[in-house]
Amino acid sequence: MKYQNKKGFVLLETLTVTIFTLIIFTILYTSVVPLLGRYDALSYYNDLDITYDLYYVKKMLLADSNYESISNLEYKNITCGSLNDIKTCQDYFQALNINPPNGDELIYLDLSNNDVKNNSSLSDDIKDYLKYIDVKKKILLLKRDDYISYLELVGS
């Protein structure tokens, strides 16, 4: 027996494919849009020059026994006076143009404890920035002007 009227099957097939396509696009949309928002937020904060400066500060901290003076803390606003090797720190800060009295902030944070992100000593800009990064390690964070960048510490 031949089917003379196949219009119902074509309609059902079209609806099935359309619903399947809508589900796929909905899943993609809900997955990609938050990533784009996070990327935009981090691109507003992050600055390549600051990241390079952090790399050299990290080398200074790990090379000159300065890291031992802060490694057991959860939060520390780093100044040259708070480190063991003050002369080396001053040389690095001068070469990298890190100037805490003029608003630059160099901060050590241990983010394995979630309470650190709510520390009252942190500025609102830094607290907003910490919401966007997914790190549960020890980091160095440098804020200069409107830009903030971080770098993970090795062995943390």
Task: List the single range of 51-60, 68-77, 136-145 with lowest mean pLDDT.
Answer: 68-77
Tokens of 117: 């992100």
Is the predicted pLDDT of residue 156 greater than 70, yes or no? no
Is the predicted pLDDT of residue 59 greater than 70, yes or no? yes
Which pLDDT belongs to residue 41? 65
Q: How many CB atoms lie within 10 A of CB 28?
A: 10
Domains of the chain by residue range: 1-45, 47-152
- Mean pLDDT for 59-82 is 77
| Range with the largest mean pLDDT of 11-25, 85-99, 115-129 | 11-25
Which pLDDT belongs to residue 8? 67
Q: pTM to 2 decimals? A: 0.65
